[in-house]
A and B are shown apart, each in its own frame.
Chain A
Amino acid sequence: MAVSRVRVPGSPSIEIEELVRADRVHRLVYTDPEIFAAEMVKVFGQTWVYCAHDSEIPDPNDFRTGYLGLRPIIVCRERDGRVAVLFNRCTHRAATVCRLERGNAKSFQCPYHGWTFRNDGELIGVPWPDAYGEDFRRTELNLGRVPRVESYRGFIFATLNEDAPPLLDHLGPAAQLLDQWLDRTPAGTVTVRSAANRMVYRGNWKLAYDNAGDGYHPAFSHRSLLRLGERFGDSKDMVYFGRSPDEGPMYAQDLGNGHTFIDQRPSYDGVGSYWAQQRLQPGREAFEEHIRARYGADADRLLDLAVGGQMNINIFPNLLVIGNQIQVIEPMAVDRTQLTWHATTVDGLPDEINTLRMRTQEDFPSFGEPDDQANFEEAQRGLGVPEVEWVMMHRGLGVEGREKTDEAGVVTGPVTDEHPMRGYFREWTRLMSR
């Protein structure tokens, strides 16, 4: 099948290497429209990008639309179960051929002039084709198809880079962390059919990625949430960020290839502790009574599954697995980003646990993320000062005894250190310099 070529615009006039140093990154990386345009081609076009979850398109001919960077795409389940990722762009006069968020269709007919494409991209119909003459080569006018699509345990990724390493190699240690996140519920499968919070902020997309691997900010950014957790006396979820967080057992990692990780699990001790530490969801006591009455000794384990996994698994550039949510970073412009929080249920868990999962997953989007996004917006405003050029990310760098690197290249350090940010900017620089 023919693949539409993507024209790579000229590199920005600034040398990328000048903008990212070991300890700092230049403000232009967050503010320059040319760099943003290059990112959409070089980052979102040249590495594996998360596109959809299997459970969103479970049946043959299911589809869901989305974006690969700024490119509108359709993620389709073909008849044989494989996944095709197509550019949602008629090869005739450019209109999108599919305008629904999701659905089931064997083909897409462009509403503009009626060109029709099968859901593997093949052009199968052109109204009144005689006018195109005898040398009309329909096969050159199939929908653009992203050449590489692979999935890992339900997470579907695609890339325009035909030379990209296999997805599993690219994920590296992040794959095992996804395993651990998924295997919290060995009897069931995670499904993404439970609505999504779509939270838009006026700031660069990387502000969200910086933050996802940042264990320094919660004690300050989330004071309103921490105060809420203390409202009835007992300290709840994340209060361990409020005491000197470096003295606790949490840690942060630079996993390589831009992926980062924060592990909050060491602050939890045994079965039932996740449930015990969660802020008070609506209906908590009513549902806990039902679960305890019905499941007895297994209740604590089940109740823990109504609470997030206490892992921030950040897959560069756009997938953040945090809590029980699958978050996707969707760049809209250099200073505008949508962060979509797909809620999850687990097939195979009791209905009551899945309902509690919904109420838990409403907590952070209500009382945590808005404060983060307020800070992202104010950072974007601050980045407008031309005279103060640098964003610092050197916490822990070169300080004896804080960070160590294992034989696989994974850097582990205290949770407030900024090695995750330094790590992903190495990958960003590599992709942007190509």
Chain B
Amino acid sequence: MTPATPSSPFAEPEMSESSATVARARDREDTDRWSYYLDPDFYRHLADVARSWSDDWPPADPLVRSECEAVLAREARLIDEARFNEWLELFTDRCLYWVPITPGGGDPRTEVSHSFDDRRRMTDRVYWLRTGLAFCQIPQSRTRRMITNVEVLDEPSGDRRRVRSNFVVHEFRAGVARSYPGWYGHLLERHDGDWRIAVKQVNLLDSEHGHENLTIIF
């Protein structure tokens, strides 16, 4: 049986009374290891999130915006410095790192993406980069990214924010320099006073076209 479905797939699951169920639920909460949260409801909620990126938002409070910009700048720096374990810690336990192929996202239930990573797959990706055996990353890419045009939608509850921004990721590897322009959608959630990333949607300008060695983290 499925666990009681939480109101938001990004929220923590409800705990059951029975101790056996509690043990199993605890196990399920280890989202580095198990992937119970990425269920059909998650996909439905994700479709709502993806749609909201194209809405017009009222201007955000400058303090709110600068708080979000700081989150994005920190995330950018951790990736660019290849501090991938720390990057993972910025995300919630029930997160998604999504790089669609179809512009705007398409429907991930019936379309493949460059990345559609739950928490375990994100840790896979970091683990894979660190095996020292991924020949496409020997030598390793150097990246540096610019993020601008940050807009924020502060949800009334106060514990969730949508952040939209433009980016250019510059990559240099094995004598070749490349640039990837696009836009991000970040869904942030407040956990224990910190803002963490629940959904990161990376929209490459040329997402459905040919790419060489698309193995960096965006």
Contact = CB atoms under 8 A, between A and B. Distances in A.
A293 B117 contact: no
Interface in A186-207: 193-202
Given A195-B112, A196-B101, A358-B110, A283 B134 contact: no
25 contacts: A195-B106, A196-B208, A199-B210, A200-B211, A223-B133, A224-B131, A224-B135, A225-B128, A227-B128, A232-B33, A280-B35, A282-B116, A283-B39, A286-B2, A287-B40, A289-B1, A338-B210, A340-B210, A355-B43, A358-B111, A362-B114, A362-B116, A367-B134, A370-B136, A374-B213
B115 A362 contact: yes
A287 B39 contact: yes
A429 to B, nearest CB: 30
Interface of A: 193-202, 221, 223-225, 227-228, 231-232, 280-287, 289-290, 293, 338, 340, 343, 345, 351-352, 354-355, 358-359, 361-362, 365-367, 370-371, 373-375
Interface in B85-131: 101-102, 106, 108-118, 120-121, 124-125, 127-128, 131
Interface in B169-218: 208-215
Given A283-B39, A338-B210, A366-B125, A358 B108 contact: yes
Given A224-B131, A228-B127, A282-B120, A195 B101 contact: yes
A371 B135 contact: yes
Given A199-B210, A228-B127, A354-B110, 8 more contacts: A195-B111, A195-B112, A224-B128, A280-B124, A284-B35, A287-B40, A289-B1, A362-B116
B57 interface: no
A198 B134 CA distance: 20
| Most B CB within 10 A of own CB, among A194, A354, A375 | A194
Interface in B122-177: 124-125, 127-128, 131, 133-136, 138
B40 A201 contact: no
A331 to B, nearest CB: 13
Contacts of A371: 134-136
A194 B118 contact: no
B40 A290 contact: yes
Given A283-B39, A286-B36, A198 B111 contact: no
Counting contact residues on chain B (CB < 8 A from A), the size range is 35 or more
B53 interface: no
B50 interface: no
Nearest to B9: A286
Contacts of B117: 282
A224 B109 CA distance: 27
A197 B109 contact: no
Given A224-B128, A290-B2, A283 B210 contact: no
A251 B193 CA distance: 57
A225 B35 CA distance: 20
Nearest to A343: B112
A283 B131 CA distance: 24
B101 to A, nearest CB: 4
Given A198-B211, A287-B39, A352-B40, A367 B111 contact: no
A366 B115 contact: yes
Given A199-B214, A282-B118, A289 B36 contact: yes
Contacts of B125: 366
